[in-house]
């Protein structure tokens, strides 16, 4: 593997970039404070922007690490920060990454997350040298599974009562893609 950290990526509509401390208000307002966005996530809705700013401080510090991959999703047209996509787990032995993502409700259903996901997958395979990229979603959140399909992942299976999120213990649905399938 060739860990190269979070580098800025561009798509037709998006800039995927490192978070900055001044992103706190946008992150809080656009997704971190919304119970609908966090419903199926593993972290709770932020009660205030101070919590968001504290998290951003941690994220920004982690950009020093070459094996840290966490992008803010910014709309090119408006410069608005609307979500994030990141590697939430790395298995060095098999060159595998697990992705996680979320985005403000206002932008759901517009093909934005698949556009971001394809750019991240391309980067992780071509630049960072990963061989496998996977993602999981709560069985009760099939929209997330559709994103995984749109970015080229295949359904791999459902693990019963294998995960925990804001809904409690849940069935995890797994998708993945290998470098040679990409």
CATH number for 166: 3.40.630.30
Q: Identify whether the C-beta of residue 73 lies closer than 8 Å to the C-beta of residue 56.
A: no
Domain coverage including residue 74: 9-181
pLDDT at residue 94, rounded to an integer: 98
Residues 6+ away with beta carbon under 8 Å from 96? 90, 130, 131, 132, 133, 134
pLDDT at residue 182 tops 90: no
Does residue 63 form part of some domain? yes
Residues 6+ away with beta carbon under 8 Å from 78? none
Does residue 4 form part of some domain? no
Q: What is d(CA 131, CA 150) in angstroms, rounded to the nearest whole number?
A: 19
Does residue 26 form part of some domain? yes
Does residue 1 form part of some domain? no
Mean of all residue pLDDT scores within the chain = 97
Q: What is the Cβ-side half-sphere exposure of residue 108, based on CA atoms within 13 angstroms?
A: 13
Does residue 3 form part of some domain? no
Does residue 13 form part of some domain? yes
Mean pLDDT value across residues 25-44: 97
Length of the chain: 182
Q: What is the Cβ-side half-sphere exposure of residue 106, based on CA atoms within 13 angstroms?
A: 11
Q: What is d(CA 38, CA 106) in angstroms, rounded to the nearest whole number?
A: 14
Q: What is d(CA 17, CA 22) in angstroms, rounded to the nearest whole number?
A: 13
For every residue of 68-129, DSSP letters joined together read --EEEEEETTT--EEEEEEEEEEEGGGTEEEEEEEE-GGGTTSSHHHHHHHHHHHHHHHTS-
- How does pLDDT run across 82-120, given as a tens digit for each residue? 999 999 999 999 999 999 999 999 999 999 999 999 999
pLDDT at residue 152, rounded to an integer: 97
Q: Domain total for the chain?
A: 1
pLDDT at residue 137 tops 90: yes
Mean pLDDT value across residues 60-68: 98
Nearest by Cα to 67 from 84, 91, 33: 91
Pairing of strands 132-138, 96-103: parallel
Does residue 2 form part of some domain? no
Mean pLDDT value across residues 40-45: 96
């Amino acid at each position: 593997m060739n860990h190269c950290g979070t580098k800025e990526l561009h798509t037709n509509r998006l800039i995927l970039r490192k978070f900055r401390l001044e992103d706190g208000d946008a992150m809080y307002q656009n997704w971190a404070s919304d119970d609908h966005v966090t419903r199926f996530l593993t972290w709770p809705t932020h009660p205030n922007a101070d919590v968001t700013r504290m998290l951003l401080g941690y994220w920004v510090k982690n950009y020093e690490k070459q094996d840290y991959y966490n992008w803010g999703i910014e709309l090119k047209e408006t410069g608005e920060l609307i979500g994030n996509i990141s590697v939430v787990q790395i298995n060095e032995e098999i060159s595998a990454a697990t992705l996680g993502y979320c985005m403000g409700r206002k932008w759901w259903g517009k093909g934005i997350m698949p556009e971001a996901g394809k750019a991240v997958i391309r980067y992780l395979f071509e630049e960072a040298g990963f061989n496998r990229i996977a993602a999981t979603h709560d069985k009760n959140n099939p929209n997330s599974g559709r994103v995984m399909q749109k970015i080229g992942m295949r359904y791999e299976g459902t693990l019963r009562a294998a995960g925990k999120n804001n809904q409690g213990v849940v069935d995890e649905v797994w998708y993945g893609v290998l470098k040679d399938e990409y």
